[in-house]
Amino acid sequence: MDTPQPPPVPTSNTPPRDPGGPVAALIAWIVIVAVVGLLIVTTMVGSRPSAADAEQIETTAEILPPSAMLEMGAKATLGEPDPAARIQGLKILPMFAADDADQLRIALLTAEIENQQSAIELIDLLLNRESPPLSDPLREDAELFRAVMVDGSDAITPEQIDALTERHKWYATLALTHGQSDDAPPRDAIYQSARSAYNIQRLMMSGIAVIVVVGIGLSITGLILILVGKIRPRYAAPSPGGSVMLETFAMFLVALTVLSILVAMLAEWIGYGALLLNWILLPVALWPLLRGLPRAHLAHAVGWNKGKGVLVELASGVVGYIACLPIVALGIMLTIMLTAIVGGDEGSAPTHPLAGMLNNASVFELIVLIQIATVWAPVVEETFFRGAFYHHLRGRLHPLLAGLVVGVIFAAIHPQGLVAIPALGSIGLSLALIREWRGSIIASVAAHAANNGFIVILLVTLLNA
């Protein structure tokens, strides 16, 4: 008769089953689906005025500053030396228009890129539109700009010129100096800014193309090394079962939603400094300790370990992200295709509020926004998405499938809209693959910070061209 063998002793490479059970897991999933669904719906309908607000908007709507994404695109388009390319760029700009004021600004740009008559026709379309009607303040501005197009800047008063310039920035200056020599101030400054934006954009695109080519080479090399066994994942999946890490992720989503409302309310009094309150979300990651998970196992689950050393993990994260750029490029292309399919009309391009917040921010505000993008988001989001949530899923799913689920939910809670899910989801998947490779989230934090840091640098540089 065979002697019964004792059960295998868990090792550091075979983490034990997490605390919690199926009931807690079900509740956590219900909370996750509810919160993600709420955030998606809020993103889809949040910018659409209700019918009850239409009359209020018609008479009292404030004229908002130019959209940051539109301004970057408009400057680069105006700086394009090829006339045909400028016209093609002009056709794309309505995708970045946030409201009717931005549509009016595109009409002003049309006078420069196409001709004055085309600009007048676009302004007339806005003025004659019945539903939804222009707000009274914007209608007055449109009529003033039309008068400038027909009779020149002498048709309006100096006070009106100052008011238009205050509300519409360089678009107004462009319209008010239309027909003058491009070398005449202040027109010369506008064109210098446009040429700088175009050159910066071209330089950035060339750099991205080179990095993507390098990424393709790294990804092919990495796949070969994985197949021959030279590269092996350092992350160890937990035994199936348990719910504590899923509970932690659900609590994070709830806390994030509630805190976002609180921060928005406080921002009216203390400005962007309210964003610093987002750091209070990080202690939610300690919930598993209250549920009985040993500290060492928590460090493994969320990736709070130094791996092969902080510097090695930081470098590995950047290299891993470059190797994943083909995946990101594919996601971006899918988002571009979806944007075109949904119509490419006003405001259809996915944008993040950060772009507008960076525009004309003070030094303190700029510091706050940069640390939110390059420190808070990488540390906190990686802790909960590629840490707690990924760890729970990996006890049940293949790394690619677990990474894909994490990536989609990561993308869905962002404010760029549904069309941005392929682009943001590809980034989330890439960060999950880096976590799988290295075990420690230091690498995925570094990759996340590199991605966000590049975007912030690009935005700040183009906005201040």
DSSP letters spanning 393-450: HHTTS-HHHHHHHHHHHHHHTSTT-GGGHHHHHHHHHHHHHHHHHHSSHHHHHHHHHH
Alpha-carbon distance of 43 to 417, in angstroms, equals 6
Q: Are residues 132 and 261 in the same domain?
A: no
**What does the pLDDT read at residue 241?**
80
Q: Are residues 176 and 254 in the same domain?
A: no
Is the pLDDT reported for residue 452 higher than 70? yes
Task: Return the higher-pLDDT residue of 9 and 264.
Answer: 264
Q: Are residues 188 and 248 in the same domain?
A: no
Q: Are residues 136 and 281 in the same domain?
A: no
Instruction: Name the band, by pLDDT with cuts 50, 70 and 90, for residue 313.
Output: very high
Is residue 59, in this structure, part of any structural domain at all?
Answer: no
Q: Are residues 185 and 282 in the same domain?
A: no
Is the pLDDT reported for residue 154 higher than 90? no
Is the pLDDT reported for residue 321 higher than 80? yes
Instruction: Name the band, by pLDDT with cuts 50, 70 and 90, for residue 42.
Output: confident
Is residue 215, in this structure, part of any structural domain at all?
Answer: no
CA atoms within 13 A on the CB side of 231: 18
Is residue 24, in this structure, part of any structural domain at all?
Answer: no
Is residue 360, in this structure, part of any structural domain at all?
Answer: yes
Is the pLDDT reported for residue 30 higher than 70? yes
Helices (H), 14-157: 22-45, 54-60, 68-79, 83-92, 100-113, 116-128, 136-151
Share of the chain above pLDDT 90, in %: 56
Task: Return the higher-pLDDT residue of 15 and 262.
Answer: 262
Alpha-carbon distance of 460 to 450, in angstroms, equals 15
Q: Say which residue the tokens 């202690």 belong to.
A: 283
Alpha-carbon distance of 267 to 278, in angstroms, equals 12
Tokens of 240: 């199936």
Is residue 153, in this structure, part of any structural domain at all?
Answer: yes
Alpha-carbon distance of 318 to 447, in angstroms, equals 5
Q: Are residues 382 and 250 in the same domain?
A: yes
Alpha-carbon distance of 252 to 167, in angstroms, equals 40
**What does the pLDDT read at residue 339?**
82
Is residue 123, in this structure, part of any structural domain at all?
Answer: yes
Average the pLDDT over 269-277 and give the result.
88
The last residue of one of the domains, among 181, 196, 211, is 196
Is the pLDDT reported for residue 1 higher than 50? no
**What does the pLDDT read at residue 14?**
53
Torsion angle of the four alpha carbons 216, 312, 206, 370, in this order, in degrees rounded to the nearest 10: 130
Q: What is the DSSP string of 36-49?
A: HHHHHHHHHHTTSP
Q: Are residues 426 and 285 in the same domain?
A: yes
Q: What is the pLDDT of residues 287-308, one digit of tens each?
A: 999 999 999 899 999 999 999 9
Judged by average pLDDT, the poorest of 11-15, 16-20, 338-342 is: 11-15
CB 59 within 8 A of CB 132: no
Mean of the per-residue pLDDT values of the chain: 87
* DSSP for residue 50: P
Q: From residue 374, how far is each of 64, 114, 445 by CA, in Å? A: 28, 40, 9
Is the pLDDT reported for residue 336 higher than 90? no
Q: What is the pLDDT of residues 89-135, one digit of tens each?
A: 998 888 888 889 999 999 999 999 998 999 999 999 999 988 888 88
Q: Are residues 294 and 425 in the same domain?
A: yes
Tokens of 440: 């420690």
Q: Are residues 305 and 441 in the same domain?
A: yes
Is residue 268, in this structure, part of any structural domain at all?
Answer: yes
Instruction: Name the band, by pLDDT with cuts 50, 70 and 90, for residue 242.
Output: confident
What is the reported pTM? 0.86
Best CA proximity match to 304, nearest among 224, 245, 217, 349: 245
Is the pLDDT reported for residue 377 higher than 90? yes
Judged by average pLDDT, the poorest of 77-81, 220-224, 237-241, 406-410 is: 237-241
Alpha-carbon distance of 392 to 240, in angstroms, equals 9
Domain residues for 257? 233-463
Q: Are residues 174 and 242 in the same domain?
A: no
Alpha-carbon distance of 456 to 367, in angstroms, equals 11
Number of domains in the chain: 2
CB 153 within 8 A of CB 126: no
Task: Return the higher-pLDDT residue of 46 and 231.
Answer: 231
Tokens of 85: 């390319």
Q: From residue 425, how far is each of 131, 361, 369, 421, 458 by CA, in Å? A: 36, 29, 23, 5, 21
How far is Cα of residue 142 from the mean position of the Cα atoms in its chain? 32
Q: What is the pLDDT of residues 56-92, one digit of tens each?
A: 444 446 788 888 888 888 999 999 999 999 999 998 8
446: phi then psi, degrees, rounded to nearest 5: -65, -40
Alpha-carbon distance of 90 to 179, in angstroms, equals 19
Highest mean pLDDT among 40-54, 185-199, 251-265: 251-265
Q: Are residues 294 and 439 in the same domain?
A: yes
**What does the pLDDT read at residue 56?**
41
Is residue 31, in this structure, part of any structural domain at all?
Answer: no
Task: Return the higher-pLDDT residue of 25 and 355.
Answer: 25
Q: Are residues 189 and 241 in the same domain?
A: no
Tokens of 195: 């040429």
The last residue of one of the domains, among 196, 219, 254, is 196
Best CA proximity match to 443, nearest among 324, 321, 323, 314: 314
